[in-house]
Structure 1
């Protein structure tokens, strides 16, 4: 029951954050918006940990992994994805991000030695075919300087960095580090690293005082960062990165629906094919062979009766 609730909360929040990010782009530089976002999130997380009197002292080695977590899940992964959404709609970025599922499985094999089932390769091929279909108009012309290809490349790069952050969270959990404490330190380091990057980059620390920017910033800080990451990392702890990635399959459904309503996202034949291929590939990756066989066995029994 707990996992079900966590899934629903994670899917609804993260599925909607792609649209919220759109309201962050334009007046304020992405890196500056992220400094604001993770600073607010860090304050909220540290306030929670201090109120709950959770232990916050850790050894130097763990702090190094907090820094890795900061860069991969609370910093530069989002910066890359913000850049990507300068070129793509929130729907397209979300669909590209769903490849996190396959990346998590591959990285789990690399870092934790878990075998990769044969169906993973089938799902990965379908997912790759789906990405090609989604961006077919740009792929067929081989114009790698086009906005769509640039956006896709940034989306996949940001997704890969996020997957490394997921592996870091699994490592921290295996070393008995509380999720809330790990997130608090990660968000603190993330905001500091982004601040350093912003200062070196020479970006202006301005604020967009319009309501859409302020509301989306608060939503992304509280719900998209504090609450969603807490839910997702609990899923990583309880059921592992492969099963927790079930939620990734549903992100695009929420994001595409919102994009249709608010961004005028228009379906094309290649878009539909790509969307179906990506989701089908993810479902195959996540569904063990014995469950597929059991499903068809049940279907046979129903037909016989």
Structure 2
């Protein structure tokens, strides 16, 4: 699959998972639902790897790396984000989680000495500004008390764990560990972690047999986990974590469009300006290198002056 297709699939699926997550909340504890989600996703991934005859046996050292991968990306990350939403609204959660791109830029330089072009920074800044603009009506009514700061703290720490998981995924591929087998083991380890968390908290492992709960669980497991994570983690190695993670900034854009049809969301000036900035940032980040130089009239004039001299 080409990179554009993988990117679009990731953005559309993860941008739509909020609907499915809404149907997961209520009768079954969130931690228990995450166990079900990644347990089912891991089984599907293992079955697919077995069908495609992909390697599933690894050395102990590799398993330690896969264990760290699972704990950071499918364990601590999700647990902290769910904990954050008990203290802050979805707007602040989206803004905080969208900082994953900037954290990935920093970690990519530290882990792999990746050179980041200026247009990635500009595009990322446009995207973050777009998200803040999009959610500004909700943000300006927020009271930044202790509970809000605690929620933001949980979210930002979760982002750091997610970014670490991203870096380990890239290292997995550098170490010739295929994406899908690595993801299968990572999801299983993440599932085990969340199982322990739920047991320590004394959660009841009940199940909702409603159509909404079962269908949303299947969507989150197969599409939101197997397909979306498989696509995203493949992109990490192909185009770099700094570019692939711009997908996290595009999620709210997809969510707003879907909400317009599903929930009757009414667009205002903040919506149009915010989405425009996010799309502009997306184009800048994913464009071929040197885009800003070609578009900058100042640089063109300087180039002409240098050639005449």
TM over 0.5: yes
* Deviation at residue 139 of structure 1 after TM alignment: 7.0
Check the 8 A contact 1:74/1:190 in 2, yes or no.
yes
Structure-to-structure mapping, 1:273-292, within 5 angstroms: 290-292=290-292
Work out the CA distance in 1 between the residues paired with 2:252 and 2:287.
Answer: 19
1:20 is matched with which residue? 20
Work out the CA distance in 2 between the residues paired with 1:174 and 1:75.
Answer: 23
* Deviation at residue 167 of structure 1 after TM alignment: 0.6
1:303 is matched with which residue? none
Q: Secondary structure at the match of 2:144?
A: coil
Work out the CA distance in 2 between the residues paired with 1:125 and 1:244.
Answer: 15
- In the alignment, structure 1 residue 161 sits paired with structure 2 residue 195: no
Residues 1:5 and 1:115: Cα distance change in structure 2 (over 3 Å): closer
1:19-58: CA deviation from partner (whole Å, max 9, x where unpaired): 2212211221111000000110111111112222222221
- In the alignment, structure 1 residue 68 sits paired with structure 2 residue 76: no
Residues 1:136 and 1:13: Cα distance change in structure 2 (over 3 Å): closer
Check the 8 A contact 2:119/2:292 in 1, yes or no.
no
Q: Secondary structure at the match of 1:144?
A: coil
1:55 is matched with which residue? 55
1:256 is matched with which residue? 256
Q: Secondary structure at the match of 1:75?
A: helix
Work out the CA distance in 1 between the residues paired with 2:231 and 2:201.
Answer: 33
2:101 is matched with which residue? 101
Residues 1:50 and 1:167: Cα distance change in structure 2 (over 3 Å): same
Q: Secondary structure at the match of 1:205?
A: coil
Work out the CA distance in 1 between the residues paired with 2:20 and 2:243.
Answer: 26
Q: Figure out how many residues of one structure are paired with residues of the other and give that number.
A: 297
Check the 8 A contact 1:124/1:285 in 2, yes or no.
yes
* Deviation at residue 196 of structure 1 after TM alignment: 1.0
Work out the CA distance in 2 between the residues paired with 1:150 and 1:174.
Answer: 36
* Deviation at residue 111 of structure 1 after TM alignment: 1.3
Check the 8 A contact 1:127/1:281 in 2, yes or no.
yes
Residues 1:93 and 1:153: Cα distance change in structure 2 (over 3 Å): same
1:243-292: CA deviation from partner (whole Å, max 9, x where unpaired): 32343343221112223444555667667666666665666555577212
Structure 1: tracts of 5 or more residues without a match? 301-305
Check the 8 A contact 2:126/2:277 in 1, yes or no.
yes
Structure 2: tracts of 5 or more residues without a match? 301-309
Check the 8 A contact 2:100/2:160 in 1, yes or no.
yes
Work out the CA distance in 2 between the residues paired with 1:221 and 1:254.
Answer: 19
Check the 8 A contact 1:96/1:156 in 2, yes or no.
yes
1:115 is matched with which residue? 115
Which is further off, 246-255 or 167-176? Answer: 246-255
Residues 1:76 and 1:293: Cα distance change in structure 2 (over 3 Å): same
* Deviation at residue 237 of structure 1 after TM alignment: 2.2
* Deviation at residue 213 of structure 1 after TM alignment: 1.5
Check the 8 A contact 2:31/2:194 in 1, yes or no.
yes
Which is further off, 263-272 or 159-168? Answer: 263-272
Q: Secondary structure at the match of 2:89?
A: coil
Check the 8 A contact 1:34/1:75 in 2, yes or no.
no
Work out the CA distance in 2 between the residues paired with 1:130 and 1:41.
Answer: 33
Structure-to-structure mapping, 1:1-305, within 5 angstroms: 2-86=2-86, 87-89=88-90, 93-118=93-118, 143-145=143-145, 151-263=151-263, 265=265, 290-295=290-295
Residues 1:273 and 1:9: Cα distance change in structure 2 (over 3 Å): closer
Q: Secondary structure at the match of 2:224?
A: helix
Work out the CA distance in 2 between the residues paired with 1:244 and 1:148.
Answer: 29
Root mean square deviation, CA, Å: 3.2
